[in-house]
């Protein structure tokens, strides 16, 4: 089959408007199947022709995983973006792999819940891409990597066979946990088409603190104290050298820095209060009491304060100590 015939077969499978030119630096031709079965048919076709394929999510990956020679074919998950089912009792939701991360956050918020994975690319990256890269993000300390938030998967293998495990049984030691080899496999083992994700209760409030410290050792002392006092309510923590702190709190932000520049080390921590915002503030302040190594501190106790430099630094930097 020559490339024109292959393209014609793809048009027949997914409709002409879903066969498109590829992104710069990637495959020349991209298909956008709208169902798992259509993904399987496309992959069968490519497999039969031994045509190389790459899965495309939101194209936000930072390591060029979707960059290929132009003779590759792309399978975009853009149309696999539906919320398939939701069980409020188990808080498990089945979403299409092309669903944007931000849409999952919005869905969770609409049900007074939240999804544990959050990263700067949330508005563009997809759940399938997060799974393929086992993305971490800014709440890794609290929720773990994407792996810890995925309960089941549906995947199409390169020959078109479909593997489905969307059962969501938490206590399940029956045989191999196959989903784990697909999480973090960067699309090399198959195309993720659906995922069963775990949502959880939202906290009533959060509190963040920015600290200036003399030395990295002081940061470790503070980190240990916060972890001891706040335990699983510690949502995010980041240690920054002074030049980095200066950059994220000046060049990347219109707000004034939360602390004077020039101290050797800075630390940001965010803690949540499941029952109230005051709970978060109290546990954070309690954790820091009596620590001599702190030169200066700025506490953000309201969402408005948190959405300033302190919070943006944590959220956008993406390098969370975990």
Ligand X SMILES: Cc1cc2nc3c(=O)[nH]c(=O)nc-3n(C[C@H](O)[C@H](O)[C@H](O)COP(=O)(O)OP(=O)(O)OC[C@H]3O[C@@H](n4cnc5c(N)ncnc54)[C@H](O)[C@@H]3O)c2cc1C
* Binding positions for ligand X, rule: CB under 6 A: 54-62, 65-66, 77, 97, 119-121, 125-126, 128-130, 132-133, 135-137, 186-187, 191-192, 318
Provide the 3-class DSSP secondary structure of residue 87. Answer: strand
Tokens 């304060």 sit on residue? 305
CA 88 – CA 111 distance, rounded (Å): 8
CB of 198 to ligand X, least distance (A): 17
CB nearer to ligand X: give 259 or 317.
317
Would you say 74 and 22 are in contact if contact means Cβ atoms under 8 Å apart? yes
Q: Are 80 and 91 in contact (CB under 8 A)?
A: no
Contact 132, 57 (CB under 8 A): yes
**Do residues 56 and 21 make contact, with C-beta atoms less than 8 angstroms apart?**
no
Q: Which is nearer to ligand X, 62 or 174 (CB)?
A: 62
* Residue 76 CB, nearest approach to ligand X (Å): 9
- Rounded to a whole number of angstroms, the distance between the first and last alpha carbons of the chain is 50
What is the C-alpha to C-alpha distance for residues 132 and 303, in angstroms, rounded to an integer?
32
Task: Select the residue whose beta carbon is closest to ligand X and give its number.
Answer: 129
Residues 287, 292, 297: CA angle, nearest 5 degrees: 65
Rounded least distance, CB 172 to ligand X, Å: 23
CB of 313 to ligand X, least distance (A): 13
- Cβ 217 to ligand X, closest distance in Å? 26
Toward ligand X, which CB reaches closer, 54 or 108? 54
Task: Please enumerate, as own/partner, the contacts of 75-79 that have beta carbons within 8 Å and a separation of 24 or more.
Answer: 75/30, 75/31, 75/33, 75/39, 75/42, 75/43, 75/191, 76/20, 76/30, 76/31, 76/32, 77/126, 77/128, 77/191, 77/192, 77/193, 78/32, 79/18, 79/32, 79/33, 79/34
Nearer to ligand X, 169 or 181 (CB): 181
Distance between CA 205 and CA 213 in Å, rounded?
A: 26
Least Å from the CB of residue 211 to ligand X? 22
Nearer to ligand X, 190 or 273 (CB): 190
Query: What distances in angstroms separate CA 290 from CA 163, 293, 294, 297, one per listed residue?
Result: 55, 9, 9, 13
Q: Which is nearer to ligand X, 26 or 273 (CB)?
A: 26
Q: How far is the CB of 26 from ligand X (least distance, A)?
A: 9
Query: Closest CB to ligand X among 62 and 254?
Result: 62
Give the shortest CB-85-to-ligand X separation in angstroms.
19
Least distance in Å: CB of 28 to ligand X? 16
Query: In the complex with ligand X, which residue's Cβ is closer, 137 or 273?
Result: 137
The smaller minimum CB distance to ligand X, of residues 128 and 152, is found at: 128
Question: Residue 130 belongs to what H/E stretch?
Answer: helix 127-133
């Amino acid at each position: 089959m020559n490339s024109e015939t292959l393209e014609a077969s793809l048009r027949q499978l997914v409709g002409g408007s879903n066969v498109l030119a590829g992104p710069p630096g990637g495959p020349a031709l991209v298909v956008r199947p709208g169902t798992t079965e259509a993904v399987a048919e496309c992959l069968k076709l490519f497999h039969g022709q031994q045509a190389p394929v790459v899965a495309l999510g939101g194209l936000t990956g930072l390591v060029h995983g979707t960059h290929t020679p132009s003779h590759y074919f792309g399978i975009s998950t853009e149309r696999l973006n539906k919320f398939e089912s939701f069980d409020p009792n188990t808080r498990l939701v089945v979403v299409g792999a092309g669903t944007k991360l931000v849409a999952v956050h919005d869905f969770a918020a609409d049900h007074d819940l939240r999804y544990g994975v959050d990263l700067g690319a949330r508005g563009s990256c997809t759940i399938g891409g997060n799974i393929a890269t086992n993305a971490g993000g800014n709440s890794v300390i609290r929720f773990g990597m994407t792996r810890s938030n995925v309960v089941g998967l549906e995947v199409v293998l390169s020959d078109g066979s479909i593997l489905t495990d969307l059962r969501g049984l938490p206590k399940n030691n029956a045989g191999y946990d196959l989903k784990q080899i697909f999480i973090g496999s960067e699309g090399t083992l198959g195309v993720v088409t659906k995922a069963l994700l775990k949502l959880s209760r939202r906290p009533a409030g959060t509190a963040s603190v920015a600290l200036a410290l003399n030395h990295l050792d002081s940061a470790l002392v503070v980190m240990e104290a916060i972890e001891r006092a706040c335990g699983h309510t510690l949502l995010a923590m980041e240690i920054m050298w002074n030049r980095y702190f200066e950059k994220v709190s000046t060049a990347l932000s219109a707000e004034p820095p939360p602390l004077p520049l020039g101290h050797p080390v800075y630390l940001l921590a965010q803690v949540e209060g499941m029952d109230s915002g005051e709970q978060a503030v109290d546990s954070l302040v309690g954790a820091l009491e009596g620590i001599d190594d702190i030169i200066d501190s700025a506490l953000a106790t309201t969402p408005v304060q948190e959405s300033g430099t302190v919070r943006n630094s944590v959220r956008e930097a993406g390098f969370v100590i975990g």
